[in-house]
Amino acid sequence: MYPERTLPEFNTASVKITKEEGLILYEDMVLGRLFEDKCAEMYYRGKMFGFVHLYNGQEAVSTGMIKALHPDKDYVCSTYRDHVHALSCGVPPREVMAELFGKETGCSKGRGGSMHMFSAEHHLLGGYAFVAEGIPVATGAAFQSKYKKKVMGDEGDEGVTVCFFGDGATNNGQFFECLNMAALWQLPIIYVVENNKWAIGMAHERATSQPEIFKKASVFGMPGYEVDGMNVLAVHSYAREAIARARAGEGPTLIEALTYRFRGHSLADPDELRSREEKEFWASRDPIAKLAAYLTEQNLAAREELKEIEDKIKATVEDAVQFAESSPEPEPSELYRYVFAED
């Protein structure tokens, strides 16, 4: 648990969502969870290689933020824990799984693997292996959105960029430099810290002089919010507010989502550093179970409807595996293709 912190309260009674909206959120989170579970199975069966970092437990952050964006205008920048961000952006499960298998049909043509998901079509700016590496990329994307509107005379709304990164990234120079530039230029960007308490094996509270990351926003004169990252309705509510600010030209926002990964840092991590008590505390706050309870209590969905969604997603994930297994490997003759931009 966070010794000096408690999860921020959020009044779910204040949330007004339709049945359709609720089921979209639920389906996206279930897709993320079951997809990652299947990734673990495939990894241990020797179908995937290298480092694979799973997202189990953090689904409310990806779903809550990305499903508040406009898919044709806005951008998402990820980390090395990027599979679920890609799925939330609309990248087909087949393409994500094929990428993990290193196949030509993957969203990065089999060249990126687990840590480098990319899709221009879905405005996914990429996953990045180095800590904090995506923050400057996302800041640049937000700058081009503002430049197009203010300098090039684009009459449409400003595109908004959401930049995800972990708590460990907030001790890196890119974090401070980019937040400073974004504040100076009033860029349309939301910086989302997925504070899952651990930077690989380093406890967050031991690694930073100010564990409450959202308070760092005040130094740059931008709003900073602490959000229950295990509650998709809370994340979604703060996301819509921050996106509206950014789209209106009011500048950046820093959101710290308190969340937890249910698995080790990667599938190569035996996960022996975290206590059983800590894992149980967070497991009892499973974001998918929490949303399911809300939907049924509010009579927005019956348990049978949620079960149908789960069964549909299981079939989708199995189909993605079959597609990946049957897809071709990249041709050795094209080893150097995609190193440089093509016409």
Domains and CATH numbers, the chain: 24-321 (3.40.50.970)
pLDDT for the residue numbered 4 = 52
Token pair for residue 135? 């923050």
Say if residues 113 and 102 touch (Cβ distance below 8 Å). Answer: yes
pLDDT for the residue numbered 3 = 47
Instruction: Determine the Cα–Cα distance for residues 236 and 35; give it in Å rounded to an integer.
Output: 22
CA-closest candidate to residue 16, choices 241, 343, 298, 337 = 298
pLDDT for the residue numbered 2 = 42
Report pTM: 0.96
pLDDT for the residue numbered 15 = 86
Instruction: Determine the Cα–Cα distance for residues 162 and 317; give it in Å rounded to an integer.
Output: 26
CA-closest candidate to residue 61, choices 29, 100, 23, 20 = 29
Residues 6+ apart with CB under 8 A from 107: 86, 91, 95, 96, 98, 99, 117, 118, 119, 124
Mean pLDDT per segment of 10 residues, for the chain of length 343 residues? 69 90 98 98 94 97 98 96 98 98 97 96 97 98 94 86 97 97 98 96 91 97 97 98 96 98 96 94 97 96 98 98 97 91 79
Instruction: Determine the Cα–Cα distance for residues 166 and 164; give it in Å rounded to an integer.
Output: 7
Say if residues 238 and 225 touch (Cβ distance below 8 Å). Answer: yes
